Amino acid sequence: MAVAPVSRRGDKSPGGVKQPITMVNDRVLVQVPDPEGERRSRAGILIPATAQLTKRLTWAEVAATGPNVRTVKVGDKVLFNREDCFEVEVQGEDYLILRERDVQALATERLDGGTGLYL
């Protein structure tokens, strides 16, 4: 699955030659969620944005997948550990690249079983 084209830095033309990005093997490209500001716990306790949360998993939307990815599709939401991925910037947008095996859970519109829990 190709993503938005990226211009080459060494190109001298004004607009630059753009090349599409193709994910390889079992890699998944996800859109980085906006950083969370202050939030409240279920009990109503205010948690500041600077609070460090250890081992907290993150939800993100899939932007592209490699050819060997079997269960994840573009548009799905995946749950993953931010420590198991690489950050990349494409045309000013932040993305993360992770392996399919690093996905802990999947939220999708497709009806193929599930846990009975919903986002």
pLDDT at 60: 92
- Judged against a pLDDT cut of 50, whether residue 11 lies above it is answered with no
- Across 1-28, b (16+ Cβ under 10 Å) vs e yields bebeeeeeeeeeeeeeeeeebebeebbb
Confidence of residue 5 (pLDDT cuts 50, 70, 90): low
CB contact at 8 A, 82 and 103: no
pTM: 0.68
Tokens 């409240």 belong to which residue? 40
Q: Domain coordinates of the chain in residue numbers?
A: 26-32+55-114
On the question of pLDDT at 13 being above 50, the answer is no
Query: What integer pLDDT is reported at residue 19 of this predicted model?
Result: 77
pLDDT digits (tens, 9 = 90+) for 31-52: 976 666 677 778 888 877 777 6
Please give the CATH architecture assigned to the domain spanning 26-32+55-114.
Roll (2.30)
Residue 42, classed as helix, strand or coil, is coil
Residue 28: predicted pLDDT: 94
pLDDT digits (tens, 9 = 90+) for 60-118: 999 999 999 998 999 999 999 988 889 998 888 889 999 999 999 998 887 666 666 66
Ramachandran angles phi, psi of 25, nearest 5°: 50, -125
Distance between CA atoms of 56 and 51, rounded to whole angstroms?
12
